[in-house]
């Protein structure tokens, strides 16, 4: 058979094989998508806490205001978990969890006297703050291609804050504990870029208004922003690092026999770098 004849006989075979090759390519792409359908990031955040307590009230026709920063000391490594379940080309479920639990103790090294009152050395005050935040959101990608994805998010968020104070001076001892929790709808936006075969950049911002849900007498908002850069060593394992910022800004109306229109406020912020591992399936 001549070279021209062999070339002519090859064309029908190629045309017949083209649909099969296309189906194989689509199947391989589907398998790649299936392999990365669920992503779990487990890590920790070196959280710096900045707390501000405030109060405003009218007493005996006089307006009084108070604001004080609370120092919880050095940064605290706290757990951070998030997961993404992709169940369609443009559809995702996003889960996030954050927990900050820190204790701070101050002890007097020597006696302190105020007029006729003396606080003995060894007296102490211990404060503890435990804040938890968990969210579950539906993410719809309004833009989705090989290089980047832009998603809009809506879902629900649960928050719980618990604070306690214990003080001891001589034979006197004081303690107090307060705990509040609630849930509300949350909205957000996500941007994901893939600058390389093994690199991924992910940015998210979420916002909750306490008036949207069930937070009792409290009013205010919860905001969150995070940015993560991830490197995949294999299709199923990688490392990530980034930065995260949270803000809890709440207020509560206070009424009493002598208080006409009091407001108590708590502005709590957490920020710091995050690191961890990525598992994909």
Instruction: Give per-residue pLDDT as tens, 179-211.
Output: 778 889 999 999 999 999 899 999 999 999 988
154 has a pLDDT exceeding 60: yes
Segment 2-23 shows an average pLDDT of 44
Q: How many CA atoms lie within 13 A of 192 on its CB side?
A: 18
Tell me the pTM. 0.73
What pLDDT shows up at residue 251?
A: 78
Burial class of residue 177 in the structure, from the number of CB atoms within 10 Å of its CB (0-12 exposed, 13-18 middle, 19+ buried): exposed
Largest Cα span, the chain: 118
Give the helix/strand (H/E) hosting 175: strand 172-193
Residue 26 has pLDDT above 70, yes or no: no
pLDDT digit string, tens, across residues 36-47: 799 999 999 999
Length of the chain: 281
- Report the alpha-carbon distance of residue 85 to residue 240 in Å, rounded: 18
Q: Given this model, what pLDDT does residue 199 score?
A: 95
User: How far is C-alpha 143 from the geometric centre of its chain's CA atoms?
Assistant: 24
Neighbours of 98 (CB within 10 A): 23
Q: Do 232 and 6 touch, CB atoms closer than 8 A?
A: no
How far is it, in rounded angstroms, from Cα 6 to Cα 2?
Answer: 6
User: Above 60 in pLDDT, residue 31?
Assistant: no
DSSP state of 166: E
What is the 8-class DSSP label of residue 136?
A: E
What's the rounded Cα separation, in Å, for the pair 134 and 125? 30
Mean pLDDT in residue range 231-258: 84
C-alpha to C-alpha distance for 163 and 161, rounded to whole angstroms? 7
As beta bridge partners, residue 226 has 204, 244
The region of weakest confidence among 158-162, 164-168, 215-219 is: 164-168
Helix then strand then coil, % of the chain, to nearest 5: 15, 70, 20
Task: Identify the CA nearest to 185 among candidates 210, 156, 211.
Answer: 156
Spatial separation of the C-alpha atoms in residues 161 and 118, rounded to whole Å = 34
pLDDT score of 169 = 64
More confident residue, 261 or 136: 136
H helical segments located in the chain = 3-35
Q: What are the tens digits of pLDDT across the range 60-111?
A: 566 666 666 766 667 889 999 999 999 999 999 999 999 988 776 666 555 5
């Amino acid at each position: 058979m001549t070279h021209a004849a062999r070339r002519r006989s090859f064309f029908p075979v190629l045309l017949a094989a083209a649909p099969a090759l296309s189906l194989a390519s689509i199947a391989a792409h589907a398998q790649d998508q299936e392999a990365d359908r669920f992503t779990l990031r487990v890590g920790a955040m070196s959280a710096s806490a900045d707390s501000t307590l405030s109060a405003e009230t009218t007493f005996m026709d006089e307006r009084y205001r108070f604001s004080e920063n609370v120092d919880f000391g050095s940064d605290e490594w706290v757990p951070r978990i998030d997961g993404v379940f992709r169940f369609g080309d443009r559809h995702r479920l996003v889960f996030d969890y954050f927990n900050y639990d820190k204790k701070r103790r101050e002890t007097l090294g020597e006696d302190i006297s105020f007029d006729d009152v003396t606080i003995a050395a060894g007296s102490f005050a211990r404060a503890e703050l435990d804040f938890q935040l968990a969210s579950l959101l539906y993410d719809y990608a309004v833009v989705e291609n090989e290089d980047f994805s832009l998603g809009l998010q809506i879902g629900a968020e649960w928050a719980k804050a618990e604070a306690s104070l214990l003080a001891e001076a001589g034979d006197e001892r004081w303690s107090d504990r307060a705990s509040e929790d609630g849930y509300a709808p949350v909205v957000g936006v996500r941007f994901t870029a893939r600058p390389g075969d093994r690199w991924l950049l992910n940015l998210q911002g979420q916002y909750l208004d306490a008036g949207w849900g069930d937070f009792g007498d409290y009013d205010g908002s919860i905001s969150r922003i995070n940015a993560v850069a991830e490197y995949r060593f294999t299709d199923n394992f990688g490392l990530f690092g980034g930065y995260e910022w949270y803000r809890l800004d709440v207020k509560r109306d206070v009424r009493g026999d002598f208080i006409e229109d009091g407001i108590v406020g708590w502005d709590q912020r957490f920020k710091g770098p995050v690191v961890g591992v990525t598992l994909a399936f």
